[in-house]
């Protein structure tokens, strides 16, 4: 089902209304067969989950003999059927005599049409053309009433808008009022149907083996002690059934095919069942009289029961193979190519995104469109909302006029030009980078200068004469965000190729910067979609004052949106118009980048708001973007949901207010995370198909490697990223944040080593003090031995025993990476890092220890004390770990207003006792064998031990298995702890269904100030805070001598919150945690009985942010609880807890390291 809005562009013959109870309503709109067109039945289900919801199914009927449709509805939430008077709903299909001629077009309507053409084109003698256009619209099903109404909006009653009149309008509209939440779309994977049974390890393994895409049904059966999983999957338009079980030894599936109904086999086996056809029998099958027997195959060896993906990862292999096979045929002509493309798209449309990605990759080089193919794409656009982003990219490749989107061609054709003429370096590469970042009318001049330079026989003075004559100097070229500082240097034998390619490229540049492509798209649609915003855009294409142009471009897209979601005769033209408007937004932003340096902060905010709205309109899975747009920048209190327009919102900003800057920075950070996720998603989904098909077609490796990156840089998100990069340093300056966020402060000296991911070196031992520069840090890694600092551009939630800092200035970070192999000194000065190279530095081993963990720690193995479960009153250090013992102490000593959850425990030794039982003796033998290999250095066997533990006949397996995760093993080895002596108790606690979760550090870890508390707070459960979830928590500090005056030092950018029903959590509680000088926090897993649900967070009305009285009261309580617990233990503490209905609940505490 897809949410939709109605449109006046669809002719509805009949409308039926039904009340379904509980506020639910069904509306059925029916368009009958007429003029050779299909009939259409549109079912609109309203108020299904909450008031205002609407879900739509559109049924196209092609057979004119169809008289009616019958149906019933099922509410799967309550397992109830919705019927009409205990019977079926029946909807009659009206008929219209196809021989009936079209009604005559009234003269006044023709006159108005001609007037519109005269007004927009200055051609007063357009009566005949207007008549032909109106007749064409009438044939496509648009009624005379609709044509009359559309003319009244923009016809003779409206005075013509001259360019001068439009130019006099205010730069920012005060009429813009949009409830952007109506644009929200949520991503769902196809039409996947799931049972109410919980997910299982077997199901996860099967999906991982065969790929989860295309699965439309899954069912789990429990038979005795075994589990059977059945999945129905669509592959290449065929239905595949996958059956898997966790049985041991040889297993046979005995199956057959029903003749008419699913229950036939149970009734009369031999009469009603029949053996399956030979062509659908899997391998290792044998045919019986009325059935088939198929032997299962072990999926643990990677073979799989069905080779659905054929070894391909993240691709639709059958499609890409067929594209490669038929490429020779496609090269015969564009007609052949697009006939093949239409056929393959029709066949793969049920493969979801990956199928359409294959088509996108193939079509990226095609230069002309074909009507039938674009019609099919437009139908899929309406029917399958989840794949609209990929469809937009495909249609950009093709283009409305067959030449592809000209904005995208700027980025594509410069690569072709460089490749064809062997000019990939120097000035041409500098120009290439500028074109990708901010193409502008200056590029037309640069291209003309290059052409003149080549024509003159490569005389460099001709190049400069052309540039200077058009106002471009060396200083201007060097001032671009991507500067051009080199002079052109070409091979003389490349002259003919350069002249040909530069001449062609000049046409593309002029098409973009003269607005010809957009103007043509507008002209096509103005007749039946006359909007003032479009007239404004048409009159102002190419204006240097880009603010009103961008506003009207976005305004036009907003007005288009409801029409795009409804089928009618001009859907395809409107979709191409929307694509052209989207592309024009990016072009306009690029043109205005150079002016941002002199723009006021409200103007920058306004630009970002517009570009955010534009990206929301281009993105299907846009829920988080909508929330970011709602929050907007100035003061999260004044947001779009309160119907404030963006210009007034921008005026309310406070350019010198540090708290305002912190709030705005948090929203920017979250937008940045959304863009990063979007980029990563594109790479994961598209690049595998690019690489596979590229190899099949023997394409240039360089083109293959950068394909997805170029696609991303050409999209709507790229212009937003440019604006964010411009605003971020301004906000950091206002908020006094500097270039670094120092998480663990200390002064150090060491050698620079640059890595991509910190996890790749977590097992390494550095023999000299080392400063690691890491591009990616998740927070789940172990710091390598010998590392004295980790510096990253990432922003994980992490605490560390070494210097740890995140860099927000890409130039600073880039310069730091260039110091690879050099010794540097890092000192903390006023919350910033001072980095300097050290000319002579003694890196001798005498003063350096490779381990920063205190030496001499011992670990005594715990014995089983005879009990498999104990109550909190029985907690002792011999039975449970420090986590459980601390809970007992807190329960006895803290004041009653600090709540402690109900707790019990599975004590030490229970795992060892259970694994030694006869039921598990084979598993114990495997664990012993794998452990010896791990002790010899084969860390890959840690995973094998975990998988073996998960096969135990006992609960709590996930917590016990986490003893053998790689990070925990590496950490214990660094501390010289015997991993075999680690014993795992399990603390069992009730889960508080939290409004907020917090972590308190009673000694500020950022400054090292013991007199100041530092706390972090997130919405929902605390896993998003202590786990590797992107984004920042809300943060505050409080002086211990002034607890009642907390100070906010950071606002939240966490993307999701975790919420769960009333349940139980099983927390790891080993004897290898919370040792003196070695906390070991977070090394082992805690598991909830029920799965928490991720919810995308909306901060626009978050009380913790906008209600200052509530905020101060909440922060005071949290800070006071932290101080009480620190006083109780007599040392600094890390304290985890939650807030429920204003009450503080503490779930654990440990010494702060």
Catalytic positions, written as ranges: 801
Report the residue count for the chain. Answer: 1153
Q: What is the DSSP letter of 44?
A: E
What secondary structure does DSSP assign to 277-322, as a single string?
A: PGGGPPSSEEE-SS-EEEE---GGGT--SS-SSTT-SSS-HHHHHH
Torsion of CA 491, 496, 497, 501, to 10 degrees: 120
With contact defined as beta carbons under 8 Å apart, do 671 and 724 qualify? yes
Burial class (CB in 10 A: 0-12, 13-18, 19+), 602: buried
Phi–psi pair at 245, nearest 5 degrees: -145, 160
Q: What is the DSSP letter of 597?
A: G
Q: Give the separation between CA 205 and CA 305, rounded to whole angstroms.
A: 12
Within 13 A of 786's CA, how many CA atoms are on the CB side? 16
Q: Give the separation between CA 620 and CA 370, rounded to whole angstroms.
A: 26
Pairing of strands 803-807, 785-792: parallel
SS (H, E, C) 678-716: HHHHHHHHHHHHHHHHHHHCCCCHHHHHHHHHHHHHCCH
Q: Give the separation between CA 1147 and CA 1153, rounded to whole angstroms.
A: 19
What secondary structure does DSSP assign to 610-666, as a single string?
A: HHHHHHHHH-SS-HHHHHHHHH-SS-TTS-GGGT--HHHHHHT--TT-HHHHHHHHH
Q: Give the separation between CA 765 and CA 604, rounded to whole angstroms.
A: 47
Torsion of CA 264, 269, 274, 280, to 10 degrees: 80
Picking from 447, 484, 437, the residue whose alpha carbon sits closest to that of residue 591 is 437
Give per-residue burial for 175-191: e unless 16+ CB within 10 Å, then b: ebebebbebbbeeeebe
Please state, as a whole number, how many other Cβ atoms lie within 10 Å of the Cβ of residue 106: 13
Please state, as a whole number, how many other Cβ atoms lie within 10 Å of the Cβ of residue 981: 14
Which tokens hold the place of 825?
A: 């000194």
**β-bridge mates for residue 226, sequence order:** 223
SS (H, E, C) 745-800: CCCEEEEEEEEEEHHHHCCCEEEEEEEEEEEECCCCCCCCEEEEEEEECCCCCCCC
With contact defined as beta carbons under 8 Å apart, do 158 and 119 qualify? no
* Helix intervals (H) in 168-313: 201-210, 264-267, 269-272
SS3 label, residue 392: helix
Q: Give the separation between CA 371 and CA 368, rounded to whole angstroms.
A: 10
With contact defined as beta carbons under 8 Å apart, do 750 and 823 qualify? yes
Picking from 413, 433, 426, the residue whose alpha carbon sits closest to that of residue 590 is 433
Q: Give the separation between CA 672 and CA 224, rounded to whole angstroms.
A: 50
CA distance to 345, 667, 927, 961, per residue, from 934 (Å):
50, 45, 10, 15
Picking from 853, 608, 848, 563, the residue whose alpha carbon sits closest to that of residue 723 is 608
CA distance to 34, 105, 137, 152, 605, per residue, from 102 (Å):
11, 9, 11, 22, 52
Distance from the Cα of residue 1129 to its chain's centroid = 44
Q: Give the separation between CA 669 and CA 1055, rounded to whole angstroms.
A: 10
């Amino acid at each position: 089902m897809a949410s939709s809005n109605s449109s006046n562009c669809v002719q509805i013959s009949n409308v039926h209304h039904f009340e379904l109870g509980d506020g639910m309503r069904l509306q059925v709109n029916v368009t009958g067969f007429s003029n050779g067109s299909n009939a259409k039945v549109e079912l609109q289900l309203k108020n299904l989950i909450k008031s205002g919801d609407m879900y739509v199914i559109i049924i196209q009927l092609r057979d004119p003999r169809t008289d009616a449709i019958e149906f019933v509805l099922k509410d799967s939430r309550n397992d109830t059927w919705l019927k009409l008077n205990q019977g079926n709903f029946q909807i009659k299909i009206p008929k219209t005599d196809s021989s009936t001629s079209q009604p005559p077009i009234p003269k006044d309507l023709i006159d108005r049409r001609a007037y519109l053409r005269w007004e927009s084109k200055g051609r007063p003698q357009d009566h005949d053309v207007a008549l032909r256009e109106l007749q064409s619209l009438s044939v496509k099903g648009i009624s005379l009433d609709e044509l009359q109404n559309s003319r009244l909006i923009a016809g003779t009653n409206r005075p013509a808008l001259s360019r001068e009149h439009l130019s006099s309008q205010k730069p920012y509209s005060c009429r813009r009022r949009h409830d952007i939440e109506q644009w929200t779309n949520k991503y769902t994977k196809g039409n996947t149907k799931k049972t109410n049974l919980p997910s299982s390890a077997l199901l996860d393994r099967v999906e991982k083996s065969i790929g989860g895409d295309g699965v439309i049904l899954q069912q789990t059966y429990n038979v005795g002690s075994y589990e059977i999983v059945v999945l129905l999957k669509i592959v290449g338009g065929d239905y595949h059934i996958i059956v898997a079980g966790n049985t041991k030894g040889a297993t046979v599936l005995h199956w057959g095919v029903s003749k008419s109904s699913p229950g036939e086999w149970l009734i009369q086996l031999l009469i009603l069942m029949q053996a399956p056809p030979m062509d659908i029998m899997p391998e290792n099958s044998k045919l019986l009289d009325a059935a088939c027997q198929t032997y299962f195959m072990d999926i643990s060896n990677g073979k799989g029961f069905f080779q659905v993906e054929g070894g391909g990862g993240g691709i639709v292999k059958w499609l890409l193979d067929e594209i490669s096979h038929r490429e020779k045929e496609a090269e015969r002509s564009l007609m052949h190519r697009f006939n093949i493309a239409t056929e393959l798209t029709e066949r793969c449309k049920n493969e979801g995104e990956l199928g359409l990605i294959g088509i996108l990759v193939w079509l990226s080089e095609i230069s002309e469109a074909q009507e039938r193919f674009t019609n099919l794409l437009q139908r899929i656009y309406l029917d399958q909302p989840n794949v609209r982003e990929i469809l937009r990219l495909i249609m950009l490749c093709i283009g409305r006029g067959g030449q592809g989107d000209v904005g995208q061609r700027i980025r594509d054709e410069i690569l072709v030009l460089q490749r064809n003429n062997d000019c990939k370096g120097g000035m041409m590469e500098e120009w290439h980078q500028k074109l990708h970042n901010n193409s502008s009318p200056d590029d037309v001049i640069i291209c003309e200068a290059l052409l003149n330079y080549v024509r003159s026989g490569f005389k460099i003075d001709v190049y400069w004469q052309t540039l200077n004559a058009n106002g471009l100097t060396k200083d201007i070229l060097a001032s671009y965000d991507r500067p051009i500082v080199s002079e052109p240097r070409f091979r003389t034998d490349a002259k003919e190729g350069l002249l040909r390619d530069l001449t062609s490229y000049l046409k593309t540049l002029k098409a973009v910067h003269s607005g010809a492509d957009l103007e043509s798209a507008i002209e096509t649609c103005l007749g039946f979609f006359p909007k003032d915003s479009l007239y404004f855009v048409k009159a102002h294409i190419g204006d240097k004052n880009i603010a009103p142009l961008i506003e009207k471009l976005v305004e036009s897209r907003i007005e288009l949106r409801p029409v795009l979601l409804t089928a009618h005769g001009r859907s395809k033209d409107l979709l191409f118009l929307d694509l052209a408007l989207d592309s024009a937004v990016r072009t306009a932003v690029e043109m205005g980048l150079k002016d941002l340096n002199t723009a006021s902060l409200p103007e920058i905010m306004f630009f970002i708001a517009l570009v955010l709205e534009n990206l929301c309109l281009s993105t299907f899975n846009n829920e988080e973007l909508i929330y970011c747009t709602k929050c907007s920048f100035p003061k999260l209190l004044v947001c779009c949901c309160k119907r404030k327009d963006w210009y007034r919102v921008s005026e309310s900003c406070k350019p010198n207010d540090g708290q305002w800057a912190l709030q705005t920075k948090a929203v920017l950070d979250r937008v940045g995370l959304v863009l990063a996720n979007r980029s990563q998603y594109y790479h994961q989904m598209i690049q595998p198909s690019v690489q596979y098909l590229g190899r099949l077609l023997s394409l240039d490796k360089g083109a293959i490697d950068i394909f997805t990156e170029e696609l991303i840089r050409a999209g709507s998100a790229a212009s937003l990223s440019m604006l964010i990069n411009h605003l971020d340093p301004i906000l950091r300056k206002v908020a006094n944040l500097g270039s670094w966020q120092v998480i663990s402060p200390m002064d150090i000296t060491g050698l620079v080593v640059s890595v991509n991911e910190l996890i790749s070196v977590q097992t390494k031992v550095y023999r000299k003090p080392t400063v690691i520069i890491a591009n990616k840090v998740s927070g789940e890694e172990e710091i390598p031995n010998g590392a004295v600092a980790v510096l990253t551009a990432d922003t994980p939630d992490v605490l560390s025993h070494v210097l740890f800092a995140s860099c927000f200035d890409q130039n600073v970070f880039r310069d730091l990476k260039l110091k690879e192999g050099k010794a540097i000194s890092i000192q903390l000065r006023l919350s910033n890092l001072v980095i300097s190279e050290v000319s002579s530095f003694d890196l001798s081993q005498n003063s350096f220890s490779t381990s920063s963990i205190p030496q001499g720690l011992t670990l005594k193995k715990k014995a089983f004390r005879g009990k498999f479960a104990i109550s909190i009153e029985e907690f002792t250090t011999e039975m449970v770990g420090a986590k459980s013992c601390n809970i007992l102490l807190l329960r006895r000593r803290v004041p009653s207003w600090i709540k402690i959850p109900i707790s019990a425990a599975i004590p030490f030794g229970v795992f060892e006792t259970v694994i030694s039982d006869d039921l598990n003796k084979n598993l114990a033998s495997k664990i012993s064998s794998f452990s010896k290999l791990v002790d010899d250095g084969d860390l890959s066997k840690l995973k094998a031990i975990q998988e073996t533990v998960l096969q135990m006949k006992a609960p709590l397996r996930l917590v016990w298995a986490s003893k053998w995760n790689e990070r925990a093993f590496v950490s214990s080895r660094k501390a010289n702890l015997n991993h075999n002596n680690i014993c795992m108790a399990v603390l069992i606690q009730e889960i508080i269904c939290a409004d907020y979760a917090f972590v308190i550090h009673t000694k500020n870890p950022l400054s090292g100030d013991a007199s100041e508390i530092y706390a972090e707070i997130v919405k929902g459960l605390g896993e998003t805070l202590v786990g590797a979830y992107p984004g920042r928590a809300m943060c505050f500090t409080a002086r211990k001598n002034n607890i009642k005056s907390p100070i906010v030092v950071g606002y939240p950018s966490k993307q999701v919150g975790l919420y769960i029903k009333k349940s139980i959590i099983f927390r790891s509680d080993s004897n290898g945690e919370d040792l003196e000088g070695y906390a070991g926090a977070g090394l082992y897993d805690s598991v909830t009985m029920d799965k928490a649900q991720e919810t995308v967070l909306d901060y626009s009305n978050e009380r913790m942010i906008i209600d200052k009285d509530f905020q101060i009261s909440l922060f005071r309580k949290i800070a006071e609880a932290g101080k009480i617990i620190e006083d109780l233990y007599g040392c600094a503490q890390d304290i985890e807890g939650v807030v429920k209905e204003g009450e503080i609940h503490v779930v654990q505490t440990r010494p702060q390291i």
